[in-house]
Amino acid sequence: MMLKNDKKIWLSSPHMGGSELKYIQQAFDENWIAPLGPNVHGFEQDLEDFLQSDSHVAVLSSGTAALHLALIMIGVEKGDYVVCQSLTFSASANPIIYTGAIPLFVDSERETWNLCPDAVEEAIEFGISKGKKPKAIIAVSLYGMPYKVDEIKAISIKYDIPIIEDSAESLGSAYKNQKCGTFGDMAVISFNGNKIITTSGGGALITKDIAFKKKAVFLSTQAKDDAPHYEHTHIGYNYRMSNVCAGIGRGQMEVLEDRIAKRRANHQFYLDIFSELPEIEVHTEPHTDYFSNHWLTAIVLKTDSKVSTETIRMNFLEQNIETRPIWKPMHLQPIFRDLPYFGGEVAQELFEHGLCLPSGSNLTEEDRAEIGKVIRKVFQII
């Protein structure tokens, strides 16, 4: 295929701030090339300050590792049920399988694209009818959009089931002025290369309970008991973040607010363009209680749209511009197809008619002009 642009426009690519190397240099100067050291603690402190709550943070090797530890600490074991949003990345669900538990996949509601409260109750009632009340609810804030926090929290309280927030995509998002990641019993965030800030690979566990933080640090560093020799009373994991990666994180924290502003500006750019096109719906905040970091801006085509998402995607690709379908729901994945599912076809419809558009904080004016040109061509607007 002939690509018109030499420079690829990515969906979401790493965007360094400038001082990351300073923190890495410090790690080298002081020889803290290990999964412990001043950057690890500094990064945790930066995150705690940013979240502006009484949360404690443990930085880990990935968001997936954080979710695995959260499930273990809640006491999820083989054969247990865990309620999980279906419309998400597979890493929301895989750690349930690591523990031997069974995911109960749940549909989305149409406003935020996250957990449908009615379907969550259905899943919980199913578990109870089998004599196994689900042990946790994994609530995702998809593409940065907070889930219906009040409704899901009410269900969590009614049935006394803890919420683990999968805030991998929503660092900096907020609901009623409170930051995502501080609503649940525990939460996880991700610093993978495509996320709003990155440490190349990394994640964090957020918790209000200092005992959970201490336990996460203990388990993530091979569960070594307090003894001069190696003594073990627990199964350990090698899940702690490296002090070198944490140095990248410290640098990235200095520019996080700017990155959120840039992604939100991209989102506004798309809202403006698509306001002329009634067959397109942009995934946006339902009302002012919601504040999304707009990690990715996604659109859905209404059923009467003249063009398909695949046509749009191919037109972008010809210009060397990356777009992606919405996450394929977990209940439709070959590996999870036989597991229980609750709800209707909202997640499936969003997958079939949705598309994520380039949303990186490093998009330039020229990039946006190129993107605008493709959209105008596909929809023939002058």
Ligand X SMILES: *Cc1c(COP(=O)(O)O)cnc(C)c1O
Residues 10-39 that bind ligand X (CB under 6 A): none
How far apart are CB 337 and ligand X at their closest, in Å?
Answer: 20
How far apart are CB 324 and ligand X at their closest, in Å?
Answer: 12
Nearer to ligand X, 174 or 273 (CB): 174
How far apart are CB 259 and ligand X at their closest, in Å?
Answer: 16
Pick from 190, 199, 207, 293 the residue near ligand X by CB under 6 A: 190
One character per residue 55-74, x = contact with ligand X (rule: CB under 6 A): -------xxx----------
How far apart are CB 236 and ligand X at their closest, in Å?
Answer: 19
**C-alpha to C-alpha distances, 71 to 4, 99, 135, 197, 215, nearest whole angstrom:** 47, 8, 9, 25, 12
**Amino acid of residue 338:** D
Nearer to ligand X, 203 or 343 (CB): 203
Bridge partner list, 106: 85, 342
Query: In terms of Cα–Cα distance, which of 6, 5, 23, 3 is closest to 254?
Result: 23
d(CA 162, CA 72): 13
Choices 25-33, 163-171, 354-362, 370-378 (CB under 6 A): range interacting with ligand X: 163-171
Nearer to ligand X, 190 or 297 (CB): 190
Helix (H, G, I), strand (E, B) or coil at 186: strand
User: Count residues contacting ligand X (CB under 6 A)?
Assistant: 14
Pick from 20, 46, 169, 285 the residue near ligand X by CB under 6 A: 169
Pick from 69, 136, 140, 339 the residue near ligand X by CB under 6 A: 140
How far apart are CB 75 and ligand X at their closest, in Å?
Answer: 21
Choices 15-23, 166-174, 308-316, 344-352 (CB under 6 A): range interacting with ligand X: 166-174
> 187 in the Ramachandran plot: left (φ > 0), alpha (ψ -120 to 50) or beta?
beta
Helix (H, G, I), strand (E, B) or coil at 83: strand
Strand ranges in the chain using DSSP code E only, listed in sequence order: 56-60, 81-85, 102-106, 136-140, 163-166, 174-175, 178-179, 186-190, 203-207, 280-282, 290-291, 297-301, 324-325, 341-342, 354-357
Nearer to ligand X, 274 or 327 (CB): 327
**CA 206, 209, 214, 215 torsion-angle sign:** negative
d(CA 230, CA 32): 22
Vertex 99: Cα angle to 97 and 100 (nearest 5) = 65
How far apart are CB 139 and ligand X at their closest, in Å?
Answer: 11
Question: What does 297-338 look like in DSSP terms, one character per residue?
Answer: EEEEE-TT-SS-HHHHHHHHHHTTB--EEPPPPGGGSTTTTT
Nearer to ligand X, 93 or 375 (CB): 93
d(CA 274, CA 278): 8
Nearer to ligand X, 83 or 280 (CB): 83
One character per residue 89-128, x = contact with ligand X (rule: CB under 6 A): x-xx------------------------------------
Task: For residue 166, state whether it binds ligand X (rule: CB under 6 A).
Answer: yes
Structural contact between residues 77 and 99, judged by C-beta atoms closer than 8 angstroms: yes
Give me the residues that bind ligand X (CB under 6 A), please. 62-64, 88-89, 91-92, 140, 166, 168-169, 190, 192, 203
